[in-house]
Amino acid sequence: MHLRLDNQLCFPLYAASRLITRLYQPFLDPLGLTYPQYIVLMILWEDAPCTVSHIGKRALLATNTVTPLLKRLEVMGYIERTRNPDDERVVTLSLTRKGKRLKQQCACIPRKMFERAGYPLEEGIKLKQQLDDLIRHLQ
């Protein structure tokens, strides 16, 4: 009885995540960005300069997942990676001018996403608060 897909919390979360990520594609593709790269850039727009481990914690991603994203963003000219001279294991990330300018190009994406989804803003805010609570419990 309990082992039915319709009874699982995980499946609608998974499906919604995939569908929302797909909605981002028309906005991110022209910029040459993937959704995970966009997430990393949003963190950097808020917190740069910061470390790779900070990005991993905020994005809930392992270092071996974050590192290839960062390398690609560096090749694209959006970020710079610098090793700490006192501890070579610590890499600090900062935005380039190009990376800072990209923020302006992306500023309209959240509004366009809600318009495209056709989901009421008030409901979206409530849902985000519920998901934030769920994430805190799961951590």
12: which residues sit within 8 A by CB, 6+ positions away?
Answer: none
Neighbours of 44 (CB within 10 A): 25
Compute the distance between CA of residue 89 and CA of residue 96 in angstroms, rounded to an integer.
22
pLDDT digits (tens, 9 = 90+) for 33-47: 999 999 999 999 999
Compute the distance between CA of residue 112 and CA of residue 106 in angstroms, rounded to an integer.
10
pTM for the predicted model, two decimal places? 0.90
Q: What percent of the chain has pLDDT over 70?
A: 99
pLDDT digits (tens, 9 = 90+) for 65-83: 999 999 999 999 999 999 9
Q: 3-state DSSP: the chain helix, strand, coil percent, rounded to 5?
A: 70, 10, 20
Checking if the pLDDT of 1 tops 70, the result is no
pLDDT digits (tens, 9 = 90+) for 110-123: 989 988 999 988 99
Average confidence (pLDDT) over 119-132: 92
Q: What percent of the chain has pLDDT over 90?
A: 83
Domains of the chain: 32-100 (1.10.10.10)
Q: Can you give the pLDDT at residue 2?
A: 80
